[in-house]
Structure 1
């Protein structure tokens, strides 16, 4: 008998990471010149090192407006955010610190991170345009353990940048990926925060 999505997620959570444990894992892999996932390469280990330093920076510098904090504090139902990620994922590095900061403001919202390549059965339930794009956030209402919303792999604003570039050039080049990180640096997590605040309305 096929497991329903909620049961698959419950099973995946048996090997999940808190944000702190995930940060420790990424930091350790960065030092060892390795990455998460079965595939190991110089490129993936370099992305892991970059993401480690980016997340360290985001953790220190993220700022939320008073209005955003008030909105986050107003959530009174218990919500679990399950996020599918990998250490090498460039789009996860700005997103996960924003999610973590939200959960620190309101303990009704909790965060668990699972690795994509260890949880392909879950990933395949939450594809983006047919692809296994990460990070992917799955919001679960703890009252009845049902999936109520999803988000990812990028903010609405970053997704538009990606789609416009693909329309004009076909594929995403390494240069564009650098430009996208430049957007994230200038944006300071605000477009991700805006999206997640909308998610909390659901």
Structure 2
């Protein structure tokens, strides 16, 4: 496993917010002309405001029936801990889908923590050396042993969006085009990856 299981302690989980609490946190930040977490700027505030309707929309994304069936028959209890921030476009596209899915299972506890407030957890789950979010960390709820992780975006979208991030486009234009790519995908790539990942996480839990 890529991270020390001791990084995510009961104390860390106690600071986690449910998805509805996280949404309240984001909306409250927008009302105060801020974003979430410790990093603050006008740009982050503006994109956070734009992300709220995206999050509300993606929470309504239709879920694949086979994926819902899979999580409704999980044989082990899990914690899905998600590193996120209100300003993150990828989080706005993906975290609501993860939350909506988790709500379909009595075996999944879904919690969010902010990247800027939990550097040790973020540093344990880097993506190619970078602090990319969102990052979903799946834990065995019985032991807090990490079973696997996902993020910051599905591989199919990663291949489409990475060239944008390396281009000379203005940051706002990069965000706009990345959102268009994610919108067109309609959460399909994420859900298809979870169809493969979740059985692997179950298998890892059953080996312990």
Same fold flag (TM > 0.5): yes
CA distance in 2, matches of 1:172, 1:81: 34
**TM-score (normalizing by structure 2):** 0.87
Alpha-carbon offset, residue 142 of structure 1:
1.8
SS of residue matched to 1:117: helix
**TM-score (normalizing by structure 1):** 0.89
Alpha-carbon offset, residue 17 of structure 1:
0.7
Aligned to 2:17: 17
Q: Give CA-to-partner distance per residue, 1:110-168, whole Å, 9 cap, x none.
A: 2110111111011111111111111111111123321110111111111111334467x
Aligned to 1:87: 86
Question: Which of 192, 195, 208 pairs up with 1:197?
Answer: 195
Count of equivalent residues: 197
Show structure 1 runs of 5+ residues with no match.
none
* Runs of 4+ off more than 6 Å: none
Aligned to 2:206: none
Show structure 2 runs of 5+ residues with no match.
201-208
SS of residue matched to 2:147: strand
Task: Confirm or deny: 8 A CA contact 2:161 2:181 kept in the other structure.
Answer: no
CA distance in 1, matches of 2:27, 2:37: 15
Aligned to 1:8: 7
Task: Confirm or deny: 8 A CA contact 1:5 1:122 kept in the other structure.
Answer: no
Q: How large is the Cα RMSD of the aligned pairs?
A: 2.0
Aligned to 1:103: 102
SS of residue matched to 2:103: helix
